[in-house]
Amino acid sequence: MIMLKIAFFDTKPYDQNWFDKINDVHTITYYENRLNSATASLAKGNEVVCAFVNDDISAETIGILQNLGVRLIALRCAGYNNVDMKAAFGKIHVVRVPAYSPYAVAEHAMALLLTLNRKLHRAYNRTRDFNFSLVGLGGIDLYGKTVGIIGTGKIGRVFIDICHGFGMNIIAYDLYPGEDSDIKYVDLNTLFKESDVISLHCPLTDETRHLLDAVAFSHMKNGVIIINTSRGALIDTVALLEALNNGKIGGAGLDVYEEESDFFYQDLSGTIIHDDLLALLVSRPNVLLTSHQGFLTEEALSNIAETTLANIDEFFKNDAIINEICYQCDAGKVEGNCSKKRTGRCF
Ligand code: NAD
């Protein structure tokens, strides 16, 4: 086994705990700092950087890492919208963890839906204060309601199975509908019109940015519940607030937020939040916000550490790199001058 030096960014205690449990070969230096152009120099002397969802891996950051001799960016997450993939191509290889536990995220999506619908977040606070009033805590039966799933990949499909268990009618939209399933696919407008609950499980791309905007909300049923465990920028937050204000949206369960990188994963309870949209969202009784924690189960964290270390080993053993990605082999397609099909590596 080759011993490598890995600079690990945006470290939290649970990351270090799981990586230290599984790694007995490499030297990992853990930094609490996020990776960006100002902190990239910390990677000096390391062949690998390990990064997470809110690290800013821009062209500038990539340039600095390349000059320092970094050869691999090992993302310990599935999404890679925070990496300038075009800038990385031909310079630094990028690997990710495409699946670590779709159950973790899908179960969190259902937890958001159940909590929001039955107002458990409010009931919890009330009973702690010996307020046993039920006024304002009403919800709906999920049984028989229509849930619209956008994105029927790994997480979307687990969420569909969970919704089946609740006796919900399921409709879905996907840019690449799965032909192997009995999922009922509809066009996006039909999904907007017919759904009582809409749950987002597609990636953030140029096409999906602000997929739910004012126009989309205008097509939806009054009182629809929106669940987003995917990426914040799938929703136009200004339009969401407006739709919450005018009653079009009955509730929003959000594990992600457009501008989350400035706030999430930090204890800011003693500071003033200079983001009025976030403050307004949090102030709404029918908004339930969690801090991008869908992945936070023991199984997911253990799988993340295992796959990330396996990706790193594959790269340095000169093997084909199963989990390498580039801007040309997105969504299973391999195009342009990506050489993955021929050589097992993107370049
Ligand atoms: P996946 O790749 O298995 O599935 C994504 C699905 O979206 C695919 O079926 C794809 O065809 C579809 N899709 C792509 N472009 C689309 C478009 N324009 N419109 C509709 N559908 C489109 O991914 P996954 O593992 O199911 O993860 C889904 C998303 O969940 C990720 O992109 C990531 O953003 C998010 N995620 C969040 C957390 C968390 O902790 N909250 C953890 C992991 C992943």
pLDDT averaged over consecutive 10-residue blocks of the chain (347 residues)? 92 96 96 97 98 96 98 95 95 95 97 98 97 97 98 97 98 92 95 98 95 98 98 98 97 96 92 95 96 96 97 91 88 71 90
* pLDDT confidence of residue 178: 85
Nearest CA to ligand 1 atom 16: 175
* pLDDT confidence of residue 330: 63
- pTM value is 0.91
Distance between Cα 112 and ligand 1 center (Å): 18
Q: Which atom of ligand 1 is nearest to the CA of 202?
A: 7
Distance between Cα 338 and ligand 1 center (Å): 22
Q: Which residue has the tokens 């994105």?
A: 151
* pLDDT confidence of residue 334: 58
In the β-sheet with 287-289, what is the strand arrangement from edge to edge?
Answer: 169-173, 146-150, 197-200, 224-228, 249-254, 287-289
Q: Verify whether ligand 1 is closer than 6 Å to residue 294 (CB atom).
A: yes
* pLDDT confidence of residue 2: 81
Q: Verify whether ligand 1 is closer than 6 Å to residue 150 (CB atom).
A: yes
* pLDDT confidence of residue 14: 95
Q: How far apart are CA 317 and CA 2, in angstroms?
A: 8
Catalytic residues: 231, 260, 292
Question: Count of alpha carbons within 13 Å of 262, Cβ hemisphere only?
Answer: 10
132-to-116, 122, 135 alpha-carbon distances in Å: 18, 11, 9
Q: Verify whether ligand 1 is closer than 6 Å to residue 237 (CB atom).
A: no
Q: Verify whether ligand 1 is closer than 6 Å to residue 59 (CB atom).
A: no
Helix (H) or strand (E) holding 115: helix 102-118
Q: Verify whether ligand 1 is closer than 6 Å to residue 201 (CB atom).
A: yes
Mutation pick for ligand 1 pocket among 155, 159, 288 (CB with most ligand atoms within 8 Å): 155
Q: How far apart are CA 263 and CA 278, in angstroms?
A: 10
Q: How many other C-beta atoms lie within 10 A of the C-beta of residue 199? A: 28
* pLDDT confidence of residue 318: 80
